[in-house]
Amino acid sequence: MNVPTEHFLLLAAVLFCTGVLGFLVRRNVIVVLASVELILNAANLTFLAASRHHTALGEANLHGPIFALFVILVAAAEAAVGLALVIALYRLKQSVRLDAASELKG
Amino acid sequence: MAELLFYVLAAGTVAAGVGVIACRNPLFSVLSLLGAFFCLATIYLLAGFPFLAATQLLVYAGAIMVLFLFVIMLLNLGDEEQYAERPPFGKRGLAIAGASAGVLLLIAVFSVGFGSVSASDGDSPAVTSFPDESIDDVQSIAELLFSRYMLPFEASSLLLLATMIAVILLAKRQRGSGAEGAGWPWKKGVEQ
């Protein structure tokens, strides 16, 4: 497949910006967590595109896939802790909206 | 053929990503996220990373997605939440957030360029053809993981253990708690 590396990077950039926008404008905690997953997937795509580029240049490169593996692992841990926090927030507030938790606002 | 499939999948990924942040119902958001994961896994497969594609499907589409759907259905979200949702800062804040994300995207596009990475930059030759065989063979990954990346590997096992303990502690309903939200160990005697 002869897709140039820039197109991978552009797809990753679009995904990242979509995730950032969702992280900023949504109030639902679950959608915010889903946006974080989008951001992490964009980072993974960038790692893999760089690894593929270096392999095409002739130097076999496996650091990209290994970093992507670690990113997936951290994303799994983050989703588990985040969703446990969602459950705790819902138990406290009967809501999953971010503006329901404003005790630290002062 | 594979190139065409890549662009179709890229469009599908972007559409699913927009669907994640645009759907009012969180259930549809999460299902759209599932579509994005599937498109990305197929892109990994096309790009020569079958092991990463399998991992993506197993961990993301398998475990994380089940976790999201489980929480949505456990909390019975849907009706009141989707009507209560408004943009958090009003129209002006929405415009500012959109503009900053757009500027971020423009910076990314212009710094990547449209042919500057693959083109020859003097000391490295230009990339004209990408390998068709898979890049991430499992044996090499395992050898690297158990030699050079030994410390991060062990640290990640510690991270998973700590995550497990934290999640159990956070999501556990304390014994003897009558009312909802009561029974937090650090909220004993604190007026709510």
* Mean pLDDT score across all residues of chain B: 81
When pLDDT is cut at 50, 70 and 90, the band that residue A69 belongs to is very high
Cβ-proximal residues to B152 (8 Å cutoff; 6+ apart), any chain: A70
- Contact pairs from chain A to chain B, CB under 8 Å: 251
Contacts of A51 in chain B (CB under 8 A): 135-136
**Does A106 reside within a domain?**
no
Which structural domain, as residue segments, surrounds residue A28? 5-98
CA distances from A58 to A13, A81, B136 (A): 26, 41, 15
Q: Report H helices in B23-76.
A: 26-47, 50-55, 65-75
The residue among B5, B127, B146, B186 with the most chain A CBs within 10 A of its CB, best to mutate, is B127
| Tokens 């599932």 found at | B34
CA triple A96-A98-A101, angle to 5 deg: 95
Q: Is B130 within 8 Å of A2 (Cβ atoms)?
A: yes
pLDDT of residue A7 exceeding 50: yes
The overall pTM is greater than 0.90 = no
Give B21-66 pLDDT, tens digit per residue.
Answer: 998 888 999 999 999 999 999 999 999 899 999 999 999 989 999 9
Q: Is B76 within 8 Å of A94 (Cβ atoms)?
A: no
**Does A18 reside within a domain?**
yes
Q: Which of A53-67, B14-28, B85-99 has the lowest mean pLDDT?
A: B85-99
Percentage of the residues of chain B whose pLDDT score is greater than 70: 74
- pLDDT for B105: 84
**Does A75 reside within a domain?**
yes
By three-state DSSP, how is residue A97 classified? strand
| Tokens 């997953």 found at | A37
**Does A105 reside within a domain?**
no
Q: Name the residue among A14, A72, A83 with its Cβ closest to that of B105.
A: A14
CB of A54 less than 8 A from some CB of B: no
When pLDDT is cut at 50, 70 and 90, the band that residue B181 belongs to is very low
When pLDDT is cut at 50, 70 and 90, the band that residue B119 belongs to is low
**Does A60 reside within a domain?**
yes
Domain with A13 in it: what CATH number? 1.10.287.3510
Domain total of chain A: 1
**Does A30 reside within a domain?**
yes
Contacts of B46 in chain A (CB under 8 A): 1
Residue among A29, A43, A41, A44 nearest A99 (CA): A29
**Does A104 reside within a domain?**
no
Give A79-106 pLDDT, tens digit per residue.
Answer: 999 999 999 888 888 888 888 788 887 6
Q: Which of B14-18, B102-106, B121-125 has the lowest mean pLDDT?
A: B121-125
**Does A103 reside within a domain?**
no
